[in-house]
Structure 1
Amino acid sequence: MGSAGTAAVEEITEPFLEDDKAAAAAEVELIPDWKEQITVRGLVVSAVLGTLFCIITHKLNLTVGIIPSLNVSAGLLGFFFVRTWTAFLSKLGCSVRPFTRQENTVIQTCVVACYGLAFSGGFGSYLLSMDEKTYQLIGKDYPGNRAEDVKNPGLLWMMSFIFVVSFLGLFSLVPLRKVMVLDDKLTYPSGTATAMLINSFHTRTGAELARKQVSCLGKYLSISFCWSCFKWFFSGIGDSCGFDNFPSLGLPLFNNTFYFDFSPTYIGCGLICSHIVNCSVLLGAIISWGFLWPFISQRAGDWYPSDLGSSDFKGLYGYKVFIAISLILGDGVYNLIKIIVITVREMCRSSSNQNNLPMTAELSDGNTSKSQLEQTKRDVFLKDGIPLWVAASGYAVLASISTVTMPNIFPPLKWYLVLCAYIIAPALAFCNSYGTGLTDWSLASTYGKIGLF
């Protein structure tokens, strides 16, 4: 009886499985060409959302210092804007091109590239640290602080700098996507989650969910905007009064910066960051401002001159900066070594598995419809790839242009230092990309900090 029931179930479900496989195969075949995936409306939406996300990134970079992942928000808002646009044109009687998942992915990728460049381009760190104000703040007599290294922010040279350094990753990593995604089967958790989310948007249930999410987003955006306007009416000059400097724990602790500012930015960042990040930041604030800085300030005149300003690197401010940087670098070096070890181990394991069983997987899966569908997806994935010779030539040309241009932008910078950086950059980029695929943790900023030494 049980075997008969099982056979009946198999007979019933088999047509449905075949239909699903046929539909999936047809869906793969109907993927538009890459030229059709890049549309005018997609570029317009990408520019608008990219500008908005850049402003948010600069705000967080200059205040909180922690930039949460905005991938999901980019995909969600891109879907909402284009769907709203197509629905509006349809009501006017205009014929509109269907909004595909690929076009949604292009929008999401452009937006992420925009705000990623705003974060990693140095607009909240090294580009601003080279200006005249920072030079005077550190002190003219401070070792290594030279007047010829001053570079005040300027739109022209900053745009030139970004253009000559931002496109090299395209030619150094994209040709290796087959190795990392298909051969080594790296998961890239954030990218996979975003892809699944975009896929869900383009179903009837997913579209309804996206509509509710955008409605919730608009509601809390309005609350944040109205609260910021309300706080402005009670703001004073500097740190005098208002909700931005509310002594919630009393005046003695207020003098050690323990107060609440009712900032929606910090609240939102705390909501989106993980518990370990929030607890670590809170613990660091309590240890530093509650114990460490008051203890060091009591040693003024013994450990450092007592007549220095609050922003002098030779005084208490120097302890604050270099202790924090040492902790960050130490943790970064540890995680860098750990991820390199994990990466090398996984690469060796993957290589040994392929060498031990080179034919088994092909023979066992070669006659199934699933393997045919996977092969079709594999072909689509590799169809519009960048040839290796184009990638190598493009990297060499851009590296040469950058090697010539960078010393003109920064005169103290030697051309051979730039050349050495571009020689070792592909290896570091591959290690970082491989580690990100395994752990979902990019250490690009850590590689940059280690480059300081």
Structure 2
Amino acid sequence: MWPLIARLKGEWFPATLPESSMKSLNGYKEMDFITSSRYSFSLEKASTLDSPKPIASTHWQKFQMMALKNPKKLKRENEVFIKESIQLWMACAGYLFFSLISIIAIPLMFPQLIWYFVLTAYLLAPSLSFCNAYEAGLTDMNMAYNYGKAELFVMAALAGKSDELVAGMVACGLIKLIVSVSADLMHDFMIGHLRLTSPRSILVAQAIGTTIGCVVAPLTFFLFYKASDVGNPAGW
């Protein structure tokens, strides 16, 4: 499809733009990947519902077949990665736990965003995260900002004229962060697979880093805030 679209340079998009521009051929590529990722997500869900076997056992059989056809190094990588994988119930429980915290805390901080708006965002986030991780694996580009912009318009329309600005911006940031982290985590899992690091170790390291960041980032902000004359146009 892309060679056919490339022939329409000058008609469908300006011929003077570089191919890497989102207003050029690259924009059509991204839309194609977004569409294919949604199709892949729907296909994966359908195959999971139709399959009588758990998805974990199916993936384990695939890795076993791959290990038989590849060198010992790849077999070792697959064994380590699968042996200490994250259980599905743990992932679901963690997602529900943090979703509940967000549903309670975010409306308290931003009253314009009603609790069921946050619930809607968390219900949409898993499918969008899958699509973004799929696209990032194909294109090496994180499209979380595009998903956040789409959520901005949806939540702004639901919130009404008086609260649309704050509700849309907060929902945009919420979706963008969730979707962006999913793509980053998949990259980390890929590197962990190559470096013989288990998913559990990666997740624990991510949790430790996030905890440290939650402490260090506010302290750093207040350090600069107290040391500098923030908001003064005549100085800093």
When normalised by structure 1's length, the TM-score is: 0.23
When normalised by structure 2's length, the TM-score is: 0.41
Greater RCO, 1 or 2 (C-alpha within 8 Å, sep 6+): 1
